[in-house]
Amino acid sequence: MGIFDRLANLDRRLIFLVIGLAVAVPIILKIKMPIRISSEVRSAYETIENLPEGSVVLASMDYDATSAPELTPMFRSFLRQCFRNKLKVVYTGHLAIGMPLAQFDLDAVTEECGAVYGVDYINLGYRPGFTAVMIGIGREIRDFFAVDYKGVPVDSFPMMKDIHNYSDIALIVDFAHGQTAEYWIQYVVSRFGVKMFACVTGVMAPTLYTYLQSGQITGIIGGLQGAAEYEVLVGQPESAAFGMPAQSIAHLFILAFIVFGNIGFFITRRKK
């Protein structure tokens, strides 16, 4: 097998090794790169900035550990922005296995911002039913969430006093690694006219551009890049901003492999 044949048929273990190093080395060396703010992330950020103090934001945590590196930085920045702007956060989710994960960030950021449980934010926990729960909240949230995640009646918390359905919620923010953001748009935004933006993984982000263009959502924070931009806007760059160099270099290496593959492919084809 000649060198060009080899280029066209690289052992996939070699690709795995190079990609592993391309991700690990920039993280170990703590390389930094400038972050460009895209219009969809800025628009999401401004949606929260423009909310009046005391407005209620419903956060839906629809991700688990698999996409935590992308979505956790978004959630933390979101909480910081909300508490800084004195907004109230109601938080629930449609993925049972992901809910406890978000609890860590909630605990860390609320402590940092001095937010008080039941006054500034509440964790309503998980309920099965998915779209049924989404539609049902449109009538009365207590039909599904009579108690919070620890089983305490929601009516015992002062912030829940005036929250009954979507007309009491100023904004929905979905943190999703699946199709949940589309469900929120189709079942809730279209039906009840609530404002929304989505924080999603890189692979899901392109799906939502149709809704952004049509004005059904006000912004998209997509993938690690979106998370990094949002961290910069909120003024506290953390793991996403520091992870971008690794992603940049990994992309470069993937492109290099594609180029090598094509060179090998063309030369071997010409020989034949």
Partner 1 sequence: MKRDIPLIITFLTGFLCVIAFFIPHPPFGDLQQRFLVWYAIVAGFTMILGLDSLVKYNVKKITQHKPGWQYSYVLLFGLALVLVTGFQSWFKYNTPFELRSSFMYSYIHIIVPLQATMFALLAFFISSSAYRAFRARTFEATLLLIAAAIVMLGRVPIGEMISDKIPLRSDWLLNVPQLAAKRGIQVGVYLGGVVMSLRIILGIERTYLT
Partner 2 sequence: MFQSIFILGLLAQPPANVAAFDTPNDEGSSITVTWEPSPADSGNLFLFRGYEIYRSDTPTGEFKCVGFAAAGATRFDDSNTDIQDGQEYFYVVRALTSSGHEDSPVAGPVASSAQWFNTQRVNVLAITLLISALVIYYIRRARAGDRLFVRKIAGLDAIEDAVGRSTEMGKPILYSFGLSYLNEVWTLASLSILHRVAEKCAEYSTRLLVPHYDPLVMSAAQETVKQAYAEAGRPDLYDERDSPFLTADQFGYAAGVDGMMMRERPGAVFWQGYFYAESLILAETGHSVGAIQIAGTTSVEQIPFFVVACDYTLIGEEMYAASCYLRPDPQMLGSLKGEDLTKAMILVFLAGAAVLGTAGVLSSHFFDYNGLNVLFENVVQWFNTF
Chosen from partner 2, partner 1, none, partner binding at 265 (C-beta under 5 to 8 Å by type): partner 1
Residue with smaller CB distance to partner 2, 195 or 232: 195
Which part of the chain contacts partner 1 (CB under 8 A), choosing from 41-49, 50-58, 146-154, 192-200? 146-154
Give the helix ranges, DSSP H, for 85-222. Answer: 99-113, 131-137, 180-183, 190-192, 205-213
109 Cβ neighbours under 8 A, 6+ residues apart = 76, 79, 80, 83, 115
Give CA separation, 121 vs 19, 128, 151, 158, 174, in Å.
41, 22, 16, 10, 16
User: Token match 């449609």: residue?
Assistant: 94
CA-to-CA distance for 22 and 24, rounded, in angstroms? 6
Q: Is 33 exposed, middle or buried (0-12, 13-18, 19+ CB in 10 A)?
A: middle
Question: With binding defined as CB under 8 A, does residue 207 bind partner 2?
Answer: yes
Task: Please report whether residue 257 would count as binding partner 1 according to CB under 8 A.
Answer: yes
The residue type found at 225 is: Q
By CB under 8 A, the count of residues binding partner 2 is 30
**Count of residues near partner 1 by CB under 8 A:** 66
Q: Is 209 in the site for partner 1 (CB under 8 A)?
A: yes
* Residues 111-170 interacting with partner 2 (rule: CB under 8 A): 130-132, 161-162, 164-165, 167-168, 170
- The Cα 8–Cα 61 span in angstroms is 43
Question: In the range 14-53, which residues lie near partner 2 by CB under 8 A?
Answer: 52-53
112 binds partner 1 per the rule CB under 8 A: no
Mapping DSSP onto H, E and C, the string for 142-161 reads: HHCCCECCCCCEHHHCHHHC
Partner whose binding site includes residue 53, from partner 2, partner 1, none (CB under 5 to 8 Å by kind): partner 2
Residue 177: CB minimum distance to partner 2, A? 7
Helix (H, G, I), strand (E, B) or coil at 61: strand
Residues 9, 156, 190, 262: which binds partner 2 (CB under 8 A)? 190
Query: Is the CB of residue 194 less than 8 Å from the CB of residue 217?
Result: no
Q: Does 108 bind partner 1 (CB under 8 A)?
A: no
* The binder of partner 1 chosen from 132, 155, 158, 162 (CB under 8 A): 132
Which tokens hold the place of 85? 């702007």
CA atoms within 13 A on the CB side of 128: 0
One of 27, 85, 117, 261 touching partner 1 (CB under 8 A):
261
Count CB-CB contacts under 10 A for residue 8.
19
What residue ranges bind partner 2 (CB under 8 A)? 52-55, 64, 66, 86, 96-97, 130-132, 161-162, 164-165, 167-168, 170, 177-179, 190-191, 193, 201, 203-204, 206-207
What residue ranges bind partner 1 (CB under 8 A)? 10, 12, 15-16, 19-20, 23, 33-36, 38, 64-69, 97, 99-101, 103-104, 107, 127-130, 132-133, 135-136, 139-140, 143-144, 149-151, 191, 202, 206-207, 209-210, 213, 223, 225, 244-245, 247-255, 257-258, 261-262, 265-266
